[in-house]
Amino acid sequence: MGSEITELLRSSSNDIWSRILNHPFVTELFNGSLPINKFKFYVIQDYNYLITLTRCQAIIAAKLEDPQVMRTVLELALADVSTELENYNKLLNRLDLRLEDIIKTKPSPTNTAYMNFLLDTCTLGTPYEGLVAILPCYWTYLEIARYHAGRLEANPVDVYRDWARVYLSP
């Protein structure tokens, strides 16, 4: 990530990072052995999470005083609500999932708890507390994609390969 503080945070939590990077879901997804139903469940949960993330970004932006930082957060929200969700709509079609059904699907208890944490932090906290709360999503996905990038070409499941490549693109 680059700065001294992020390097310090990253190195002080190597055990957590190792568990994330080597989680069975992640390794199975990148090597192509993940059962498709697990991936579909994840996609449904993640779609609902992305809607909440976009709401959080809007809340954070509304609280910011600095117009440049506000603009950056709003651009992030726009990218998530347009590009990211557009990619998900294509993914849903490939997985024979319908957006209408996903919207009606109740998020899992774990996803609900995480989304509530983010909304509470962004609503009740400072904008910078909100930014800190949403940072792990971006950081973790980038680290996971980089760590497992070498496995993608050998991954026999096109939909997994295509999904993961998104997180390696600039």
For residue 59, with 0-12 CB atoms within 10 Å meaning exposed, 13-18 middle and 19 or more buried, which class applies? buried
Closest CA to 36 of 118, 149, 157: 157
Q: Give this prediction's pTM.
A: 0.89
In eight-state DSSP terms, residue 168 is G
- From start to end of the chain, where are the E strands? none
Alpha carbon separation from 54 to 94, 123, 135, 149, 168 (Å, rounded)? 24, 13, 13, 27, 21
Closest CA to 108 of 119, 116, 100: 116
N-terminal to C-terminal alpha carbon distance within the chain: 14
Q: Cα separation of 71 and 167, whole Å?
A: 22
For residue 3, with 0-12 CB atoms within 10 Å meaning exposed, 13-18 middle and 19 or more buried, which class applies? exposed
Q: For the domain that residue 24 is a member of, what is the CATH number? A: 1.20.910.10
User: What integer pLDDT is reported at residue 78 of this predicted model?
Assistant: 93
User: What is the full per-residue pLDDT of the chain (170 aa) written as tens digits?
Assistant: 468 888 898 889 999 999 999 999 999 999 999 999 999 999 999 999 999 999 999 999 999 999 999 999 999 999 888 888 888 889 999 999 999 999 999 999 999 999 999 999 999 999 999 999 999 998 999 999 999 999 988 999 999 999 998 888 76
* Tokens 């998020």 -> residue: 107
User: For 10-40, how does the pLDDT look when each residue is reduced to its tens digit (9 = 90+)?
Assistant: 889 999 999 999 999 999 999 999 999 999 9
**Structural domain containing residue 104:** 4-28+36-168
Q: How many structural domains are present in the chain? A: 1
Closest CA to 34 of 44, 47, 45, 24: 24
| Conformational region of residue 109, where left means phi above 0, alpha means psi within -120 to 50, and beta covers everything else | alpha
Buried b (16+ CB within 10 A) or exposed e, 92-106: beebebeeeebeeee
